[in-house]
Amino acid sequence: MKNQIKNSLLAVVTVVVIVILTGCFQSSPDTELEAGIDAEAIVIGAGISGLSAAIEMGRAGVEVLVVDMNSVPGGHAVMAGGFAVIGTPLQEAAGYQDTPELAYKEWQEWTEVGDPYWTRFYTENSREMLYDWVIEMGIEWTRVVMGGFENSIPRFHFTEHNALDVVQALVRTALELPTVNFLWNQKVEQLIVEDQQVTGVQVRDVRGGDIKTLRSEHVVLATGGFEGNLDKVLSNWMPDLPKPGRLLIGASVHAQGQGLDLASEAGAQVTNMDRQYIYTNGIVNIHDPEGVFAVTAGNVHAMWVDSNGNRFTNEAGLDKEILRDMLNLEIATYWAIFDEPGRAGFAMRGAEWVNNPTDGHPLMDNPEITSKAATLAELADTTGLPADALATTLANYNALIDAGEDSDFNRFPEMNNTPPRIDQAPFYAMQFYPMTRKSMGGVVVDAGTRALNDSGEVVAGLYAVGELNGSVGINGKHGMDGMFLGPAVITGRVAGQTIATAHTQRDTSIRILPSSEEDLLPDSSTWAASLSATELESLLAKSREGYWHFETSHAMVLEREYECTQCHSAEMPFMPTNNRVSKLAQIEVCSTCHGRR
């Protein structure tokens, strides 16, 4: 951060503005829907499923309050990739004729126990309810690729900047709707249940600690999965596979499964918690001092060996088979071995910083992550792998490449798709671990995404969308590419439509944020950045509850020496922002850290 104006009054301004903005979000008696009701519908979670539900309701005139424990919208989807869609113009332009029947058949075979109703619903409606819907918001789909082994033709659709483009479009659309309001930094502590009906939520301000109750007729839980909670993951482990000795977290830090607990306490049924999509390609995140969180990585030119120096699986095989082979090892970890030309095959994703290396590669040139040696014997010594076994395994691997057929694991059954030999020093070894990713079980819902209890009856007033309902069981036992983001949007829309159908017009004033909110913003003609790097460092010196996004993003600001004006302006000044103008400005700068691949 360079050339900044010093003498910031951030601490004072923050306290004052929090008080002022909090006042902007309090309901006045003359604008309440009816006595004791704060909004007709409350959505818990401003991720991609919650936003989809809010837009659907807001467009129908339902007054919606979106509550999120973070200070920014978008959830984990800002770091995500693409969407599975059936029968699109991109497919047709590439010469592929896709049909719901074909997709249904292939997905049911892959997932083994995928929910038949929702799988068919998705295949028949993804084009209209997802692909066309976001095009209407100004989004352009730019490419379609094959995705996973579950597809015989390409179905994995992307925009230019992956899921970030869709998230931004949803946020813009929601902020334009006068019946959709937001409340940030609020963690839901419990659902209010009265006479066997969910009638609201109790929330705690994670920054200030205040607790209050918000009343509504409908509560939509859009809180995501539980793969950021190792205790929940391991206590619901897949019964047919061994638990690993070390399991990294590859999901959002906020994916704690809180929504599952809330729903269960309110009487909802939770099922299939042992259906989890565990990745096999986790590298320790170098920005995590605890060594718990992962970065997704891989090298298409590498050979994989176990702790005994032996190959153990088809490196290019089915992910569900690789997981089985990995977890059945004596120690559930492996090393990817490659040489200097093989560096070109390495790729990584899953963290904000991965696409922004400064001096050298942040993983391959980091000795804490990657071993590098002039000879194979030296590489074995640095990794602790048996030297003789490693040398024998690599010699055999290169011989298979020369022969044009992998008779051991069938990685390359034909000469025309053999990987390059590994024989040009220096040699590299990177250690991989299994990592959590996505949960495929959750709250049981009906065709309208209403939560159901153990008897199959509706839990009145409660809905579950997105990963919280296990993506409605479409993924069965084995996850599919694009089938987490896609169902999040569609189930969010279904919940919104269900509530919109029940919506009745009321003779009341719609609460819109006061126009005076814009008076809080500085004059754009005189605004200037007013925080130095030293002052920012002092703010980050001690972690504070409710400031996770602020601390994470601004740590990168200091690391990369960004100018404040790359993100901040008079519309998004140095203060907590709850108004629509600032939130619109804020979502536009997400690409500073996210989405530019």
3-class SS string, 59-98 = HCCCCEEEECCCCCCCHHHHHCCCEECCCCHHHHHCCCCC
Weakest-pLDDT range from 13-27, 240-254, 285-299, 408-422: 13-27
What's the pLDDT score for residue 418? 92
pLDDT at residue 520, rounded to an integer:
72
Report the C-alpha gap between 426 and 13 in whole angstroms. Answer: 55
Question: Is 61 part of a structural domain of the chain?
Answer: no
Q: pLDDT tens digits for 499-536?
A: 999 986 554 444 434 333 445 788 888 999 888 889 99
Give the span between the Cα atoms of 476 and 485, in whole angstroms.
15
Q: What are phi and psi of 438, to 5 degrees?
A: -140, 140
Quick one: tokens of 533?
Answer: 């790097």
pLDDT at 48 over 70: yes
Report the C-alpha gap between 129 and 144 in whole angstroms.
18
Examine the pLDDT at 378 and tell me if it is beyond 60.
yes
Q: Which of 36, 8, 29 is nearest to 533 (CA)?
A: 8
Domain presence at residue 319: yes
What confidence tens digit (pLDDT) does each residue in 109-146 have?
A: 999 999 999 999 999 999 999 999 999 999 999 999 99
Residue 337 in domain? yes
CATH number of domain containing 432: 3.90.700.10
State residue 88's pLDDT score.
98
pLDDT confidence tier of residue 352, bands split at 50, 70 and 90 = low
pLDDT given at position 575: 81
- Indicate whether 381 belongs to any domain: yes
Is 489 within 8 Å of 83 (Cβ atoms)? yes
Percentage, residues of the chain above pLDDT 90: 77
Going through 232-271 in order, the beta strands assigned E by DSSP cover 270-271
What range does the domain containing 360 cover? 277-436
Q: How many structural domains does the chain have?
A: 1
Ordered DSSP codes for 103-136: HHHHHHHHHSS--HHHHHHHHHHHIIIIIIHHHT
Q: What is the pLDDT of residue 560?
A: 82
Indicate the pTM of the whole model: 0.91
Q: Where are the alpha helices (DSSP H) in 249-386?
A: 258-265, 319-327, 376-383
Within-domain flag for 401: yes
Are 463 and 218 within 8 A, CB to CB? Answer: yes
Report the pLDDT value the prediction gives residue 109, as an integer from 0 to 100: 98
Q: Is residue 194 domain-resident?
A: no
> Is residue 270 one of the residues assigned to a domain?
no
In a domain, 39, yes or no: no
**DSSP state at residue 199:** E
Average pLDDT, the chain: 90
Q: What's the pLDDT at 524? A: 87
Helix axes 485-502, 163-176, angle to 10 degrees: 20
Which pLDDT belongs to residue 29? 31
pLDDT at 23 over 90: no
